[in-house]
Amino acid sequence: MRLAAYDNFDELEQCQSAWDRLADRCVFRTWRWLATWWRHYGSEDPRCRLHVVVARDADEQVLGVLPCYVHASAISGRTLRLLGDGEVCSDHLGLLAATDNRGQVADAIADALLSDPSWDALDFAAVDDGEPSTGLLLDRLQQRGCHVDTRPEQSCWTIDLPDSWDEFLAMQSKSHRKQLRRLDSRILQTDSAAWRHAATAEDFSIGWDVLEDLHQRRRQSLGEPGCFSWPRWRAFHEDIARQLLAAGELRLSWLELDGEPVAAEYHFARGSTVFAYQGGLSPEAADAEPGRLSLIACIQHAIGEGRRQFDLLRGDEPYKAHWRATPQAVHRVLAIPPRFAPRVRYRARTAIRNAGRWVQQAARLFS
């Protein structure tokens, strides 16, 4: 097996189709998502250096990709992170590897990382518990002397979709089933409601404006700034959403009641899965339950397309279990190589963090 580390995305163009094959159904692992993320979040940041490791066999077939970058700071040192992390909140990140070669790829990349002194810590966010390829890599690093620490994050929640809406309703509790039927028949199936989705560039322009407006109004009504107030987040998502529209993987929709937009959804569809990423609601229409109405329409559409999973992504909001979604544990993983300077830095950071917690606890105790 031959490994190559890349610090320029242009040199990785030849890997795009193999990369997407290894990404499988997950939109957040694809070349398109991660290359666009790097262009907006990493390429112009002097603290960041691309570090993508590609594993190939003797016939030059790509067997694995570790899509990373190194972020340098005075406090944390040089930290190896997964592309797509941070404020974008990409889920299901990790090592991409062919099923039959996971062990070999994990061994080879672990050896390569430990022979590379250009990083001081590995900090991977949003790693699914039990994700096989990343799990093997972390095991191999630990076996080779790395200190590995895992910390729980909020779970990812997924609804397993049946073949029909009636079967989906049968999955719900009696009271929830009654509520969904009432909302569907009394509102969604009437002339007062119109559910629209973006199929063209013109549709996209309309829907994107609706999404931004409803998202910002909803978040600001809760005293929050809203994601569209973050310039890089906004630029990244408008860029990637247009690409996904062209690829047939964007599911941008909005619901109108009596001609007025009251809810919008920004979802993705790849393979058998719809990923429910972001949305917005009209605060003034809260009594009409626009969020629930919009979710009904989106799930009905996903079932109609033959999707098998509706991924509600990270976050332990109570409504997810109510819709019969099941949780998948997610961890943030930290690994420290068996070198003197990184170990000292890690112990110092841990001591400072523990001291800060003690001060907070003491303040609460005596307040």
The reply to whether 142 and 189 lie within a common domain is: no
| Judgement on whether residues 127 and 94 belong to the same structural domain of the protein | yes
Residue tagged 């030059």 (tokens)? 60
Do residues 92 and 122 make contact, with C-beta atoms less than 8 angstroms apart?
Answer: no
CATH of the domain at 129: 3.40.630.30
Phi, psi of 316, deg, nearest 5: -100, 40
Tell me the pLDDT of the chain (367 aa) as tens digits: 899 999 999 999 999 999 999 999 999 999 999 999 999 999 999 999 999 999 999 999 999 999 999 999 988 899 999 999 999 999 999 999 999 999 999 999 999 999 999 999 999 998 999 999 999 999 999 999 999 999 999 999 999 999 999 999 999 999 999 999 999 999 999 999 999 999 999 999 999 999 999 999 999 999 999 999 999 999 999 999 999 999 999 999 999 999 999 999 999 999 999 999 999 999 999 999 999 999 999 999 999 999 999 999 999 999 999 999 999 999 999 999 999 888 988 888 777 777 666 656 655 655 6
pTM of the model: 0.94
CA 218/CA 226 separation, integer angstroms: 8
pLDDT of amino acid 356: 63
What's CA 91's distance to the chain center, in Å? 2
Domain that residue 69 falls in: 2-155+330-366
Do residues 145 and 277 share a domain? no
Q: Report CA-CA distances (Å) from 299 to 99, 166, 168, 204.
A: 30, 12, 9, 20
Q: For residue 310, give the nearest of 187, 206, 168 by alpha carbon.
A: 168
Q: Does any domain span residue 149?
A: yes
SS3 185: helix
| For helices 102-114 and 132-143, angle between their N-to-C axes, nearest 10 degrees | 40
Dist. CA 339–CA 78, nearest whole Å: 13
pLDDT at 361: 64
The CB density around residue 222, as the number of other CB atoms within 10 Å, is 8
Give the count of domains, the chain: 2
